[in-house]
Every structure is written in structure tokens, then in C-alpha cells.
């Protein structure tokens, strides 16, 4: 039987996930950053320091705010023409349709924004849709939040119909954790809502194979069989998935479930998240190790969202160096090879 969702420190204490003597010191953490562990994830926790628990249990380390950490680490607000909308690149926008999630991840880069109840107010949604309709360069709309799949299928269908009426919007992409953290929400009605638009992509946020429960596998199967292309994004998290073996297991599990690994994110400079952050050098080493262990379809791009909203860039590792008479190329085992580009003058 599935366990209930947890949202209060008193519930975490009652379930034994937090010792009673820590409740008082965790109160300011809960005040600053909301708690929610879905029933599915609560049921999948096997120990209070396992890779799932560590993503969702509050920690006093979150009260350590480093000077480099930011309220809005990737500049969502800086590039926002109307509330809920971010327009950073010419051809795409991010539309945050709700601030609510099924889980609140302790490392979330939008942790200052998520947690308030409810969908984007209708007036703000109207303004965002008007902006999209009036901007012909926008080819792709990325629906995010919060988590867009906390909306009801009826609401999502209505939104998809409104987006479908804008002729230059050809792709709708959902960024969501729901198929893994609350797979029961992936009902036939939800799948029909996602398919209301012919070209829908779904990008699943998942960080550890332990999250991919049997129910999550069924949800992914149903989405894949409905013809919705599935990609994934993973955050590199210290002590949770920051080694090649753990990520290899995750990426193989995703491929087995017809999800293509897309991004491995370097953990953003969100406030109170330094205990989750590794170094870029460590991330590059892991990616180099993975290249020898996994085929190309299992290798995501390791990316950094440049603080301030300057966009996402691949951060390596690098395999090509300019040399005096061409290039030095590094192979997956670290071997170095001279390469002369015949047509390079
Ligand atoms: S589900 Fe996504 S938006 Fe919500 S807290 Fe987790 S990372 Fe943030």
C-alpha cells in the first residue's frame, strides 16, 4: 500500500525520517523552503539517508547561504516580459503555469518561486498567451512551473488548445517530475491532454534509478506508447548521484524505459544548496568515464546555466585541443592523437 504524502516536520518525525530532537532546528528551514514528499516517493524511501530521502528531507545546511548564491540563479525574472513567462532565446519561451509541485526538491533552482498554491492567475496567463501570439519568432513553448502536470487534464487541455491556436508555435515541451514522483497522475485523460497538440515533448526530471518505481515504469510505458517523445534531465548532486556507476545505472534504466538522457545539469547557485554542489572538474571526470561505459544514446549533455540568465552551455569534458599543426584529440580511454584537418588552411 502506498504511504501518504508528507508536508510537515511533525509528519517527518512521526514516520521516523527526522529525529524528534531535530524538529526545532529544522523549523526555520521549513519556513524558508516548503516541504513536500509525494506518496510515491515516501513509499520508495528505504532509509532516511538514501538517495531519495536526501533530495526531499529538509536539512539545516540549507540555512547556509553562500555569497555567490542567488534568489533567481538563472535569471528567470530578468528575462520575463510578463508574469510567468521567460523569453531568453528568440525562438522559445518558458511558461510557468503553476508554482506547485508534487515534491519540493531541496536543491531546486526555482526554490524561491515554487511552493505557493495554485495555477498562474488567468490574467497573467492571458497576458503570456497574448505575448506569445504577438511574437512570431516563438516556435517552441516550454511548460514548466512548479510542475505543469499538477494541473488537471481539463485545464491542460484548455491550455493546449489555446497554444495550438497560435500558428507559429510548433512545439510544446513539458518539463515535469510527475511521471516518476506521482505516476498515478498519468491517467488516460492526462495522456489525452498531452496529445492535444501533435508535437509534444516531455522532459522528465529524475536523479536516481531508485526513483523509477514499477508504477513510474508503467507511466513511462503509457506515455511512450501514446507516441510522446520522452527525454530526461538530471541534476548532478553531491552524495546522491555524483559518480559514474550511479549515473550509468540511471541512464540505462531510462533508456530501458524509452527515455533518452538529454541534460545533466551542474547544480545551480540557488540559495542554501551548496551541500549539493560538486565541482565542474568532478562533473567532467564523471562524463569522461561515462563515455567509455555507455553508448551515445545514453550520454546526456553536461550543461551549466550561466548565472544571471545568459543561457545554458555545454561544459565538457573537452576532447579537442588546437595544436601547432592541427588538433590533439583525446579518446575515451585518455589516449592522445594528433589530427590534421585536411581542408583547414
Ligand atoms: S519538481 Fe522541479 S520545480 Fe518542483 S521543486 Fe523539484 S526541481 Fe523544483
CB atoms inside a 10 Å sphere around CB 51: 21
Confidence of residue 341 (pLDDT cuts 50, 70, 90): confident
What is the grid cell recorded at 296?
551515445
Specify the ligand 1 atom closest to the Cα of 175. Answer: 2
Active site residue 108: yes
CA angle 53, 57, 58 (to 5 degrees): 160
How many angstroms separate the CA atoms of 162 and 49, rounded? Answer: 44
pLDDT digits (tens, 9 = 90+) for 162-204: 999 999 999 999 999 999 999 999 999 999 999 988 899 999 9
Is residue 2 over pLDDT 90? Answer: no
> Is residue 104 flagged as an active site residue?
no
205 Cα–ligand 1 center, Å:
8
What predicted TM-score, i.e. pTM, was given to this entire model?
0.96
Determine which of 18-27, 30-39, 109-118, 170-179 has the lowest per-residue pLDDT on average.
109-118
Compute the distance between CA of residue 236 and CA of residue 238 in angstroms, rounded to an integer.
7
Residue 104 CA to ligand 1 centre (angstroms): 6
Percent of the chain surpassing pLDDT 70:
99
Which residue reads 506518496 in cell numbers? 39
Nearest-CA residue for ligand 1 atom 5 is 104
User: What are the grid coordinates assigned to 328, written together?
Assistant: 590533439
Mean pLDDT calculated for residue range 41-50: 97
Ligand 1 site, residue 74, Cβ cutoff 6 A: no
277 lines ligand 1 (CB under 6 A): no
pLDDT at position 119 is: 86
Let me know if 195 is a catalytic residue. Answer: no
Catalytic option among 99, 110, 197, 271: 110
Q: Is 312 a catalytic residue?
A: yes
CA of 192 to the centre of ligand 1 (A): 24
Q: Inform me whether the pLDDT recorded for 342 exceeds 90.
A: no
Ligand 1 and 105: CB distance under 6 A: yes
Rounded Cα gap, residues 257 and 250, in angstroms:
11
* Cα(1) to centroid(ligand 1), Å: 25
Q: Is the CB of 177 under 6 A from ligand 1?
A: yes
305 is catalytic: yes
Q: How confident is the model at residue 309 (pLDDT cuts 50, 70, 90)?
A: confident
pLDDT digits over 280-293, tens only? 999 999 999 999 99
How far apart are alpha carbons 237 and 244 in whole angstroms?
12
223: CA distance to ligand 1 center in Å?
21
| Ligand 1 pocket residue status of 76, Cβ below 6 Å | no
Sheet hosting strand 312-314, strand order edge to edge: 85-89, 92-96, 140-144, 171-176, 200-205, 230-235, 260-265, 301-305, 312-314
Distance 178 CA to ligand 1 centre (A): 10
pLDDT, one tens digit per residue, over 91-139 is 999 999 999 999 999 999 888 778 766 789 999 999 999 999 999 999 9
Could you state, in order of their start, the residue ranges of all structural domains in the chain?
65-314, 319-345
Q: What is the largest CA-CA distance in the chain?
A: 71
Nearest residue to 14 (alpha-carbon basis) of 34, 33, 42, 40:
42
**Three-state DSSP class for 219?**
helix
Contact 42, 5 (CB under 8 A): yes
114 lines ligand 1 (CB under 6 A): yes
Task: Flag whether pLDDT at 345 surpasses 70.
Answer: no
- CATH superfamily of domain region 65-314: Aldolase class I (3.20.20.70)
Identify whether 267 is a catalytic site residue. Answer: no
Amino acid at each position: 500500500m502506498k504511504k501518504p504524502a508528507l508536508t510537515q516536520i511533525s509528519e517527518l518525525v512521526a514516520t521516523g525520517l527526522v529525529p524528534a530532537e531535530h524538529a526545532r532546528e529544522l523549523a526555520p528551514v521549513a519556513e524558508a523552503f516548503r516541504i513536500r514528499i509525494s506518496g510515491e516517493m515516501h513509499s520508495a524511501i528505504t532509509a532516511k539517508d538514501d538517495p531519495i530521502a536526501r533530495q526531499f528531507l529538509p536539512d539545516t545546511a540549507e540555512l547556509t547561504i553562500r555569497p555567490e548564491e542567488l534568489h533567481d540563479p538563472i535569471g528567470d525574472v530578468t528575462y520575463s516580459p510578463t508574469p510567468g513567462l521567460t523569453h531568453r532565446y528568440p525562438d522559445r519561451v518558458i511558461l510557468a503555469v503553476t508554482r506547485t509541485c508534487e515534491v519540493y526538491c531541496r536543491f531546486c533552482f526555482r526554490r524561491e518561486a515554487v511552493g505557493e498554491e495554485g495555477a498562474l492567475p488567468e490574467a497573467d496567463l492571458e497576458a503570456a498567451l497574448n505575448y506569445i501570439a504577438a511574437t512570431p519568432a516563438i516556435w517552441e513553448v516550454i511548460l514548466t512551473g512548479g510542475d505543469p502536470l499538477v494541473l488537471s487534464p481539463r485545464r491542460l487541455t484548455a491550455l493546449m488548445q489555446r497554444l495550438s491556436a497560435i500558428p507559429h508555435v510548433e512545439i510544446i515541451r513539458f518539463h515535469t517530475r510527475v511521471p516518476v514522483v506521482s505516476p498515478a497522475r498519468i491517467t488516460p485523460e492526462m495522456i489525452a491532454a498531452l496529445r492535444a497538440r501533435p508535437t509534444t515533448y516531455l522532459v522528465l526530471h529524475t536523479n536516481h534509478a531508485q526513483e523509477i518505481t514499477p508504477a513510474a515504469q508503467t507511466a513511462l510505458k503509457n506515455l511512450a506508447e501514446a507516441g510522446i517523445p520522452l527525454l530526461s534531465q538530471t541534476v548532478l548532486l553531491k552524495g546522491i548521484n555524483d559518480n559514474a556507476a550511479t549515473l550509468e545505472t540511471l541512464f540505462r534504466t531510462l533508456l530501458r524505459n524509452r527515455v533518452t538522457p538529454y541534460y545533466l545539469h551542474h547544480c545551480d547557485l540557488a540559495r542554501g544548496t551548496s551541500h549539493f554542489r560538486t565541482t565542474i572538474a568532478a562533473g567532467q571526470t564523471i562524463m569522461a568515464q561515462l563515455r567509455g561505459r555507455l553508448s551515445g544514446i545514453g550520454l546526456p549533455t553536461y550543461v551549466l546555466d550561466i548565472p544571471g540568465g545568459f543561457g545554458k552551455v555545454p561544459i565538457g569534458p573537452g576532447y579537442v585541443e588546437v595544436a601547432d599543426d592541427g588538433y590533439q584529440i583525446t579518446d575515451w580511454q585518455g589516449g592522445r592523437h594528433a589530427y590534421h584537418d585536411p581542408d583547414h588552411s
